[in-house]
Amino acid sequence: ELKVEQNPLFLSMQEGKNYTIYCNYSTTSDRLYWYRQDPGKSLESLFVLLSNGAVKQEGRLMASLDTKARLSTLHITAAVHDLSATYFCAVGRADMRFGAGTRLTVKP
């Protein structure tokens, strides 16, 4: 059974700092997703990563994929308060499996 693990589960950052969220998955997959969820809101798609070495960037967020290591990272550069949210990685096709989520809090 496909398992998806994220760490850390909770992350408190100072504004302006950099940090990385990790996502490991247990079986081969041809795609990996990152989503963002604000408190009380639904999930918003951030990135779809499809191949080994894929890197995508949007603003202060950069996601990468290493299919051989079954690892994806979400790197946050110079964090700002607006990035405070829960970030999920997900693996699979129609039967997507989600990680537990990383609750990010960015403090002034």
Binding site for another protein (CB under 8 A): 4, 30-31, 33, 35, 41-45, 48, 50, 88, 90, 92-101
Number of H helices, E strands in the chain: 0, 11
Burial of 95 (0-12, 13-18, 19+ CB in 10 A): exposed
Question: Using alpha carbons only, what angle is made at residue 27 by residues 70 and 96, rounded to the nearest 5 degrees?
Answer: 100
Complex with another protein: residue 68 or 93, whichever CB lies closer = 93
**Minimum CB separation from another protein for residue 75, in Å?**
21
**Minimum CB separation from another protein for residue 104, in Å?**
16
**Minimum CB separation from another protein for residue 101, in Å?**
7
Complex with another protein: residue 80 or 96, whichever CB lies closer = 96
